[in-house]
Structure 1
Amino acid sequence: MSISNAPTTATPAGTASARQVVWQRRRAAFAGFCKEFSHHKAGMVGLIFLAVVIVAAALAPFIAPSRMLDVTQLLDSPRFAPPSWEHPLGTDHQGRELWVRMLWGAQVSLIVGFAATIMSMVIGTIMGIAAGHFTGWTGGLVMRIIDFFLVLPSLILAIVLSSVLSRGVLTIVIAIGLTSWAGTARVVRSQTLSVESRDYVERSRVLGAGHWHIIVKHLLPAVMPLVLANTTLTVGSAIISESTLSFLGLGDTTLQSWGTILKNAMDVSAATSGYWWYVLVPGIAIVLVVLAFTLVGRAVEQIVNPTLRSR
């Protein structure tokens, strides 16, 4: 009789131990991922460069106080001064140090890049899983929406949204995020269809698991590695889009960004007037940051994609 009462306390302990095993596996998988990533020299170079840029942007208020951007306090500063020991990256048409503007501009460019990418990844993941999991008219309707956004030129649509909405950083984030998710959705849908055909998903469905359980417990963990790899590649594209919109005058002119610096250089004809540093400095910064994100993204993609890893 005493033995029959023992199993009542076994379930919580078993549940706790199962959770511990899951977290141990996740920590082991993350440690393995970090170890493999450290062996990719190009990826590590890109990661170190991005870490330096992010730290410099975060410390911009301490390295270069905002008063260094106040033109009323720079009346004696030379305009269009070329790079020198006194002016490391030169000055602009208002006498502001270009390295100061680049530091503050890195904040806006990185914030927009990360925020727009997160928005794009969330929308793309949800739509991709929905298109791959649901059948019938629901899946067909979601797929037609994805195809519609794939056909539309994302940059043109972002320009239209930025023109209609009020100008600002949030507007640029919304414009980029709403127009760049379709590619991610197609990748997620392909992975979802592959996972749907596996035996453990079929067993869950036969045992009565609902849509929410299958999506959260099986589909989402399976597609997250591809989403992570695609995220690092999308950040670079988002930074280019932000620079393009700011260059076209659709950004917030009261904030510094690399695209705004390029627009100011165009307004004063810096390229044809011999002020080469005014154009090259922000242009090279955009190229290097996008290249760094691409190197990191390719390294992550090779780790999470068995086909690329075998090559």
Structure 2
Amino acid sequence: MTTQKTPAAEPAAVRARTSAWRRRRASAVRFWRQYRTHRAGVAALAVLALFALLAVSAPLLVGSGVADVTDAPGSPLERPGAELPLGADRFGRDLLGLVVWGARVSLLVGLLAAALSVAIGTVIGVTAGHFRGWYATVLMRITDWFLVMPTLVLAIALATVMSRSLLTTVVAIGVTTWPTTARLVRAQTLAVETRPYIERARALGGGHWHVMTRHVLPNVMPLVLAQTTLIISSAILAEATLAFLGLGDPTVVSWGGLLQDARDAGAVSAGHWWYLVPPGVAVAVVALAFTVCGRAVESVLDPRLGVGR
């Protein structure tokens, strides 16, 4: 025998969903209204939007055959000119097209690695702050071990023992950069757990899962959002470093891979600046833009930080 909802219950559920959607929309509008007062943050967001547009439109702008060495449009290490605005690499490929195409890989790896890192840190931070006791002690000691170990060294070790692929790069960066997020989220979780509505939820029968997902997690998400924007810049730099050291996927084009090719071609000693500058500037600009956006988000979510506008 199936039960049916009463006519009064359905409108109540609809009203609840509508009210929740309106609150989220109002919160997003308030966030954007405050964020756009940060001139540096808006400029950085515009830069990121431009690079994202280039990455998405790369197949249309430069074509999927830009990395093909058998049909290169220029001669090896050709200087910048009218046909090749940024010159050619050691195989005669168009460097402008390679930089545009490399944005796809560098941004994708940065976003996925940051998402993995933040997911691990959030789960560990929330559970350690909620359960406490021996469980939290063990997790925090593991976190402390990762904190004192050089992140890049751990990432290089993982990338060395695993197969060279984009997945390996994402995993190597993601599983070595989560401790800072875990520490911050745990501290915020401890603060949230002391609030009266947490005790009220437990008194009404709310279990651990209900308290963590319905009360603690929504309150730590602003911190997680700000931390994500900051980690993305570190992940992009880490990807470029691993690729520069020859630990990236050799079958794809990325900014770090272009820098490694330039080093192997002797561009530094030969003075082929057009081989080094474009990918290096791209990495620096995108990493700086994500950092500025992260600081602006932090300032909006916590005005006490007083980030400059």
Q: What TM-score, normalized by structure 2, do the two folds share?
A: 0.94
Cα distance in 1 between the residues matched to 2:306 and 2:191:
19
Is the deviation greater in 76-85 or in 270-279? 76-85
2:249 pairs with 1:246: no
Cα distance in 2 between the residues matched to 1:306 and 1:130:
27
Aligned counterpart, 2:3: none
Query: What is the identity, as a one-letter code, of the residue corresponding to 1:250?
Result: L
Aligned counterpart, 1:156: 153
Aligned counterpart, 2:41: 43
Aligned counterpart, 1:77: 74
Aligned counterpart, 2:230: 233
Unpaired runs of 5+ residues, structure 2, are 1-5
Aligned counterpart, 1:224: 221
Unpaired runs of 5+ residues, structure 1, are 1-7
Which of 175, 179, 182 aligns to 2:179? It is 182
Q: How far 1:309 sits from its partner (Å)?
A: 5.0
2:127 pairs with 1:130: yes
Q: How far 1:202 sits from its partner (Å)?
A: 1.3
Which of 287, 292, 297 aligns to 1:295? It is 292
* Alignment CA distance shift 1:310-1:251 (3 Å): closer
SS in 1 for 2:65: helix
Cα distance in 2 between the residues matched to 1:307 and 1:215:
26
Q: How far 1:262 sits from its partner (Å)?
A: 0.5
Cα distance in 2 between the residues matched to 1:175 and 1:228:
22
Q: How far 1:310 sits from its partner (Å)?
A: 9.0
CA root-mean-square deviation: 1.7
Cα distance in 1 between the residues matched to 2:232 and 2:204:
40
Which of 77, 91, 95 aligns to 2:92? It is 95
Cα distance in 2 between the residues matched to 1:281 and 1:124:
34
Which of 63, 66, 69 aligns to 1:65? It is 63
Contact 1:262 1:283 (8 Å CA) reproduced: yes
Aligned counterpart, 2:50: 52
Contact 2:66 2:97 (8 Å CA) reproduced: yes
Query: What is the identity, as a one-letter code, of the residue corresponding to 1:19?
Result: R
Cα distance in 2 between the residues matched to 1:280 and 1:77:
19
Q: How far 1:286 sits from its partner (Å)?
A: 0.6
Contact 1:129 1:219 (8 Å CA) reproduced: yes
Aligned counterpart, 2:16: 18
Which of 267, 270, 273 aligns to 1:270? It is 267
Instruction: Choose between structure 1 and 2: higher helix proportion.
Output: 1
Query: What is the identity, as a one-letter code, of the residue corresponding to 1:18?
Result: A
Cα distance in 2 between the residues matched to 1:305 and 1:232:
15
Q: How far 1:119 sits from its partner (Å)?
A: 0.6
Cα distance in 1 between the residues matched to 2:152 and 2:130:
30
Structure 1 residues 248-299: Cα deviation after superposition (integer angstroms, max 9, x where no partner): 1011111100111001111111011010111111111111000111111111
Q: What TM-score, normalized by structure 1, do the two folds share?
A: 0.94
Cα distance in 1 between the residues matched to 2:66 and 2:178:
38
Contact 1:303 1:309 (8 Å CA) reproduced: no
Contact 2:240 2:256 (8 Å CA) reproduced: yes
Query: What is the identity, as a one-letter code, of the residue corresponding to 1:60?
Result: A
In the TM superposition, 1:103-122 aligns within 5 A as: 103-122=100-119
Q: How far 1:86 sits from its partner (Å)?
A: 2.2
Is the deviation greater in 217-226 or in 56-65? 56-65
2:271 pairs with 1:304: no
Cα distance in 1 between the residues matched to 2:69 and 2:119:
41
SS in 1 for 2:251: coil
Q: How far 1:10 sits from its partner (Å)?
A: 3.9
* Alignment CA distance shift 1:83-1:231 (3 Å): same
* Alignment CA distance shift 1:9-1:77 (3 Å): closer
* Alignment CA distance shift 1:68-1:21 (3 Å): closer
Query: What is the identity, as a one-letter code, of the residue corresponding to 2:83?
Result: E
Structure 1 residues 198-219: Cα deviation after superposition (integer angstroms, max 9, x where no partner): 1111111222211001001110
Query: What is the identity, as a one-letter code, of the residue corresponding to 1:83?
Result: P
